[in-house]
Structure 1
Amino acid sequence: MSTVEQIVKNEPLEEIVTVFALLKPHRQLDMLIRRHNRELIQHGELEKTYKNLFEAGILTGGEKGLCAKGPNWKAPKFVLEKRYT
């Protein structure tokens, strides 16, 4: 199992988006999550999560379809603990 697959299967959606939205545009992130954990975003949760993260100042608009770190961005627990290195 790949590292990305482990993260998508084991971590909360909000934490996944907090990290991967900086690296992948919305459409690619949607496909990535659907490939590894379809149930996580079955009912529009991805769009709601993006909206909540933008409103909370965790993410902000970036370049080329990517997000940027907002003023309230903090690394998720799984990143700080280096669970998947």
Structure 2
Amino acid sequence: MLDFESIVKNESVEDVLLYFSLRTPYPAIDRMYVKYHFDVVASGELISTYQRLVREGKLREHGQALPEKGPHWRAPDFILQKKYGLK
């Protein structure tokens, strides 16, 4: 079982979005931040980071609930290091 609290509190917003956006709809990610790191949502950082990732080509929206990897997508460091039991 993933420790969402540790991931949200310890990893950058960009890295969390790069990993979870491909698997989890944005409203669910927003709820994770509301629960574990509210100031990211309250300040607008979460939505602005998501929009920036789309503009930079790291995520690509295509009319579906989940975006795809964009041409400039990269695996977040916490995935490469296999932290939190992720593979």
Instruction: Calculate the TM-score normalised by the size of structure 1.
Output: 0.89
Partner letter of residue 5 of structure 1? E
**Distance in 2, Cα, partners of 1:23 & 1:4:** 14
**Distance in 1, Cα, partners of 2:6 & 2:35:** 12
Secondary structure at 2:60 match in 1: strand
Structure 2 unaligned residues grouped into runs of 5+: none
Establish whether residue 15 from structure 1 lines up as the match of residue 15 from structure 2: yes
Structure 1 unaligned residues grouped into runs of 5+: none
Counterpart of 2:76?
76
Partner letter of residue 52 of structure 1? R
Query: Could you tell me the percent identity over the aligned residues?
Result: 36
Q: Which moved more, 1:14-23 or 1:63-72?
A: 63-72
**Distance in 1, Cα, partners of 2:62 & 2:84:** 26
Secondary structure at 2:84 match in 1: coil
Q: Which moved more, 1:56-65 or 1:46-55?
A: 56-65
Secondary structure at 2:48 match in 1: helix
Q: Deviations over 1:3-26 (max 9, x none)?
A: 211100100111111111111111
Could you tell me how far 1:40 is from its partner in structure 2? 2.1
Instruction: Calculate the TM-score normalised by the size of structure 2.
Output: 0.87
Partner letter of residue 26 of structure 1? Y
Establish whether residue 51 from structure 1 lines up as the match of residue 58 from structure 2: no
Establish whether residue 3 from structure 1 lines up as the match of residue 32 from structure 2: no
Moved over 4 A (4+): none
Could you tell me how far 1:64 is from its partner in structure 2? 3.7
Secondary structure at 1:73 match in 2: coil
